[in-house]
Amino acid sequence: MFLPTSKKEITQLGWKQLDVIIVTGDAYIDHPAFGAAIIGRYLLSKGFKVGIIAQPDWKKDQDFLALGEPRLFFGITAGNMDSMVNHYTARKKIRSNDAYSPQDKAGLRPNRASIVYSNKIKKLFKNVPVVLGGVEASLRRIPHYDYWSNKVRNSILFDSKADLLVYGMGERPILQVALALEAGEIPQNIAGTTVISKQIASEPYHLLPEFHSKFSKQEFWQLNKEFLQNYRDKDLYMLFAGRYLKHNKPAEPLSTNEMDEIYNLEFERDLHPQYKNKRITAFEQIKTSVTAHRGCFGGCNFCAIGQHQGKTISSRSEKSILTEVDKITNQKYFHKNISDIGGPTANMYGTYCKLGISRTCTRNSCLMPEICPHLQTSQASYKKLLTKARKKEKVQNVFIGSGIRFDLALQDQDFIRQIAKNHTSGLLKLAPEHTNDRVLQKMNKPKFKYYQQFLEQYMKYSRQFGKKQFVVPYIIVGHPGETLQDTIELAYYLKKNNIRLKQIQQFTPTPMTISTLMYYTGKDLQNRKIYVPNGREIRLMKALVQWYKTKNRKLIREALQKAGRNDLTKFFLG
């Protein structure tokens, strides 16, 4: 059964009224890779009647009224992506498609979807609580720099007029919210939530700088510095217009048993029937993949996973994962291959902090500037899992599609050997991001030599097994701290090794990342000035990295002249 999306479906289930209605900016796909489906299924398993309103037309009332009034609350999410990232490129150009919509159709969700949906619900259902969740709300829960309006915006909780915000992994907090509302209580102190409070009423707490309409860059830097130093083990308060934004401590990471319970729920693992004969790219990309764990202790400055999923790795049991593999092999769309068993970083499965303090430890990264001695880095459990999955009766191949942390992989040569032999589909995707160590340091990424060491080992094993395999490096241009000289160095490496990147990532300042803080303030976390490339310079950087394109020749010449590197004109342009 799918969660109901119409009053007819509610009646067919024998229900009179829903307890919770989830409004999402994504199409409704009943699969554990989609947040709305997971939260809906989880609440259903706890005895609550849950329905879904997917991609409502925000210009009209009709779609929001389709399921009636919920008994407890509306849960609102923009979807699996921030709606602004979903809509716009790094150059602020409107995207022509949306991978989370039927037939990739763009425009089925509004800009700032969480705010728009919440304001609409508040207008139509004045007395029903509204709870925000999902990545958009989670990463806009405190004042944040908004790249698309080029200003610091207040917490989304104030702009949306919602009653409460669940941040991070939402299963435990949302259940506590539902139980509190069921008991007639107004939730204020639930870990993993942000609320608006009239007064300071908890210990220990930390008071953040007051937010106001003329918030300076230095004040924004200070707020972020204090937030990062204190949010893990204290409640935070921030005064705004006579009220406080209360940021409760993060929820405890899910245990293995809790992870198994969630992923063992009876998902349909398919599109809702309303999308019959339609394609949704996001589903096509993950339908034969398995989430093995959540969390990432890498702490890359441009990535917000640490502020959303958390630093602690929550791993599922081997049994639960292999059971899900069996479920996938019985789907009509399965054809021999499991596309991925992983998470934010595949080879972090089964790793953990030996001291058990990963949630409260103040290090943003367990790998940088060096691997923490208290980190258990063995990849034995992951290797064992991949081998068992590959030997399943209906499975021909198990690939790794969610990325590998190569500095971690270098701790286990047999792991590199195993992925070269059994778990690469021909192209292995890695993320060195750059070749210049100074730029990598600003990204909080490992030195380039570790990528080269991994590459050497991986290619050695590939040749050993008679396999013609390649590594596709992910590259970012325009990151704070990068100069044109640095990009020329990167482009030189790419051309020398005949690496022709079809896609490159232009740095996009997204809410709550350290790189975004550097981009907006021009300072790093140590309060040191940092160079921030912008405008035409980034266009020149992109042209350099895609050195092989004829249309880029004029821009490459301009870049070399601007950087005083005319000595490389012949190398790049012949």
pLDDT digits (tens, 9 = 90+) for 83-96: 999 999 999 999 99
The helix or strand, by DSSP H or E, that contains position 477, with its residue range, turns out to be strand 470-477
- Give pLDDT tens digits for 234-244: 999 999 999 99
Angle at 296 between CA 146 and CA 139, to 5 degrees: 20
Q: How confident is the model at residue 358 (pLDDT cuts 50, 70, 90)?
A: confident
Q: Is residue 306 part of a domain?
A: no
- For position 137, what pLDDT does the model report? 98
**Minimal CA–CA distance to 60: which of 102, 110, 101?**
110
The verdict on residue 533 lying in a domain is: yes
* DSSP per position, 223-246: HHHHHHHHTTTSEEEEEETTEEEE
CA distance 85 to 101: 15
Tokens 């995707």 — which residue? 429
| Rg, Å, the chain Cα set | 24
Q: What is the pLDDT of residue 425?
A: 87
Please give the DSSP secondary-structure letter assigned to residue 277. Answer: T
Of residues 226, 8, 47, 35, the one with CA closest to residue 137: 35
pLDDT at 362 over 90: no
- Burial environment of residue 118 by CB neighbours within 10 A (0 to 12, 13 to 18, 19 or more): buried
Is 510 within a domain? yes
433 φψ region: left (φ > 0), alpha (ψ -120 to 50), beta (else): left
- pLDDT confidence of 572, banded at 50, 70, 90? very high
CATH number for the domain harbouring residue 537: 3.30.750.200
Residue 361 included in any domain: no
Identify residue 332 by its one-letter amino acid code.
K
Does position 53 have pLDDT exceeding 90, yes or no?
yes
CA distance 336 to 21: 37
The interaxial angle of helices 413-422 and 380-390, nearest 10 deg, is: 20
Residue 549 has pLDDT above 90, yes or no: yes
State the average pLDDT over residues 172-186.
97
The pLDDT value recorded for residue 426 is 85
Greatest extent of the chain over all pairs of C-alpha atoms, in Å: 77
Helix (H, G, I), strand (E, B) or coil at 74: strand
- Containing 207, the helix (H) or strand (E) segment is strand 205-207
Q: Can you give the pLDDT at residue 574? A: 87
Per the structure, how many domains does the chain have?
2
Report the CATH number at residue 155. 3.40.50.280
Dump pLDDT digits (tens) for 180-229: 999 999 899 999 999 999 999 888 999 999 999 999 999 999 999 999 99
| Complete DSSP assignment for 6-44 | SHHHHHHTT-SS-SEEEEESS--EESTTSHHHHHHHHHH
Domain boundary among 247, 268, 287: 247
Domain hosting 442: range is 426-574
Q: What pLDDT digit, counting tens, does each position of 519-531 carry?
A: 999 999 999 999 9
- For the stretch 285-319, pLDDT in tens is 999 999 999 999 999 999 999 889 999 999 999 99
pTM score of the predicted model: 0.95
Amino acid at 451: Y
Burial class (CB in 10 A: 0-12, 13-18, 19+), 516: buried
DSSP annotation of 502 = S
| In a domain? residue 436 | yes
Of all helices (H) and strands (E), which one includes residue 453? helix 448-464
**What was the pLDDT predicted at 403?**
86
465 domain-assigned: yes
Among 232, 247, 262, the domain boundary falls at 247
Q: For residues 164 and 196, what is the distance between their CA atoms, to the nearest angstrom?
A: 8
Residue 484 lies in a domain: yes
Residue 19 lies in a domain: yes
Mean of the per-residue pLDDT values of the chain:
96
Percent of the residues in the chain that have a pLDDT greater than 90, as a whole number: 95
Q: Which of 247, 271, 289 is the last residue of a domain?
A: 247
Listing DSSP states for 309-373 in one string gives T-SS-EEPPHHHHHHHHHHHHTSTT--SEE-EEESSSGGGTT-EETTS-TTT---S-SSSSS--T
CB atoms near residue 441 (< 10 Å): 17
**Per-residue pLDDT reduced to its tens digit, 367-405:** 999 999 999 999 999 999 999 999 999 999 999 998 899
CA 510-515-517 angle, 5° bins:
80
Give me the pLDDT at residue 202, please: 83
